[in-house]
Chains A and B, each alone.
Chain A
């Protein structure tokens, strides 16, 4: 009976997720466009079945697959560096927001504003900042050409991305912080724990379940990054991500290749999400098992349940 009630959801999911996914997978096994007739210049046929050729092209960097590894490393680098810095900054922001007793609203608003701005708008704004004669160069007093090929272009993307998305982690972490019982801190104070000790031994472990979810969300989001480097750097190889490759191929009406890129990105995102949950999730449980059913662990487990339930 319960299964029957789930049926409409399942059908809807199959329609909006499953069907396009299967179509895309099927499309990725085809090559668009055929031979050009040498006398009229007209293309003779439509799609042809090419098996795994598109994937082979992508992974060997041959033909239409050129640029795949560059995009792959860019995507990975933006994700790893970006999300790491965002996590540190986000937690710091959350701690500030949780502390700020006076002018709490203003502090929160000013931290959260970047998150509220659409990515394309913030990308255009950063484009002005990183202009050859823009504010960034005026502030540092030298002319760095941010929007030319090279590491400075990647730094520009990272700065803009971190500015925009660290508040997201901050916001979720703040929610987690507010579920921590003040008695825990009072107990720590009585035991003579300093602020640093309190942070590492109490705040971080208790907020960790929420933080893991926040980081996971950012991870999935960062891996499909598109609009920011697209607006900021255009066609520069330094900012090319896997999503951009897919969009690029689609705009060249090479839908087979575009689907292949999408499928690879899809698999990559699934893999990373799986590993992330597996490793961090298992670790949480492992610690749990070792520390035994103590009061604090029980409390942490309950808090985790609550915060996950409210977030997911």
Chain B
């Protein structure tokens, strides 16, 4: 169990799964850069936050619900939680994403982390949730099975381990770097290389031997 002050932002889980270094740059190094994707994401979120609570058949819709879990050590917000009017059904967390469905499970794990927080806070069990993707506009149901729950718990534990170390993982350039909003801060290609010392000393030697 974590204490209240050890809680890490839940939103970091998706960064962490995309790239632990990106997560460390944001959450440990406090670096943040906007790119088109993050700005559009914020605009979409603002829309979600602005909206008044409304209802969907059989459900009351609440927005921006504060969350935390002492078991996972996370705190954050759910975009939307749907509360059943009939008390015997379960709550449904819904996450809004501006883009397409991704080929990795960062979004799904983030939603599952929200569900685990809600379970801990309400003492009820939450079997499933949904992700709403902006393009194309569709609602994707997500079942919180045992495997997904374990993946989520593992990700939260790994994140805490890295945070305790206070280390930022070194950069490794990969294809996915091209879509990363922190590319210019991370500079994985040039700043990440080794052997700089040798190179610099030989430049210095050149300076010394340079004649008029």
- Physical interaction between A and B: no
